[in-house]
Each structure stands twice: as C-alpha cells, then as structure tokens.
Structure 1
Amino acid sequence: MDKIEKYESAILTILKKYAAIKYANIKGGNQLIVDKENRHYQVLTLGWDEDRYVHDCPLHFDIIGDKVWVQQNMTEWDVAKMLEDQGVPRKNIVIGFLSSELRAFSDYATD
C-alpha cells in the first residue's frame, strides 16, 4: 500500500465511523461522499429537524500532493490525532480550516 492509499484508508476509517452515527432529532442521516479520482472525502448530514431542513458537512478531508488536509471538522473529534494514530505523520497533516497565520502555531504542517 503506497502512502496515498494509506492516507485514504485512514480518512475513510474516520468518515465511515462518523457516517454510521444515528441522530435522534433528525429524520435523515449521514452520507459518505468519496471522490477518489480527485481525492475529496466528506460526510454530509441530510434530513429534517422538525420543520428545518438540515444540509451540513461536519467532516471534509482532501489529499493535496502528499498531505492530508482537514478542510472541515464540526465535530468534537480530534481527527488530526485520529489520523496520526493510523500512521499519518504530523508533517503530512494540514489543518486547512485555519488561516495560514494560525497554522504556524499548530503542531501540524502549514501547507
């Protein structure tokens, strides 16, 4: 398994776990969206919360070059740590939803 396949596997492990979550208040659920060709990976939450339509993206990752970009994390999960636990080195994880200035203060890659 090459590095990109390993990173994709780590991302999909996290997303599948999150996509399996069932909500008590939403008539609908999570959808796993995977674009392997362009290396985009996300979970969408779709459904109804009483009379309010829900269409959210709680988790979104991209593989850009040889790095995993965490583009969105609206969960309580430390997904960067979860990636590390699966063998993705810190130097290859970018917290993309932070500005480049703030990324410099993270323990992860800046770009």
Structure 2
Amino acid sequence: CAMHLELIEGQIWRQHNSTEIYIDRELIERGVSPKDIILGFRSPSVRKRIAAAMED
C-alpha cells in the first residue's frame, strides 16, 4: 500500500506514506489541527519530542 492512514479516537494516524504527497500539509490546509495528526510510524518517545517542538 502506498499510503496508510487510520482514524483512532478522533485523530489521524499516519502509519505509512511512500507517495510524493505531503499528506500532513494537505490535511492542515484543509483545517485539520496539527495536534490531530499522529506519526504512527515513530516511537512514542519521538512523537513526544515532535509534539513538544510544535508547541514552541
């Protein structure tokens, strides 16, 4: 599969994307909050650091 997204508890989990589409950017441009886009392919500790960096 070229792209794998899941909707889990109201958040979009990006599990895989091997396309040239920047799906995160597309979703944000369409009104999805960056806090509702989870990088599921990253470990929980990396996701925490990314979330903290986004808050700065």
Same fold by TM-score greater than 0.5? yes
2:49 maps to 1:105:
yes
- Give the ranges of 4+ consecutive aligned residues of structure 1 lying more than 6 Å apart after TM superposition: none
Q: TM-score under structure 1 normalisation?
A: 0.42
* Partner residue, 1:68: 12
Q: TM-score under structure 2 normalisation?
A: 0.77
Give the gaps of 5 or more residues in structure 1.
1-56
Please provide the CA RMSD for this pair.
1.7
CA deviation map 1:45-93 (0-9, x unaligned): xxxxxxxxxxxx1101110011011111112322111110111101111
- Structure with the higher helix share, 1 or 2: 2
CA deviation map 1:19-47 (0-9, x unaligned): xxxxxxxxxxxxxxxxxxxxxxxxxxxxx
Give the gaps of 5 or more residues in structure 2.
none
- Structure with the higher strand share, 1 or 2: 1
Higher relative contact order (CA 8 A, sep 6+): 2
Give the paired residue count.
52
How do residues 79-90 of structure 1 correspond to structure 2 at under 5 angstroms?
Answer: 79-90=23-34
Identity within the alignment, %: 33
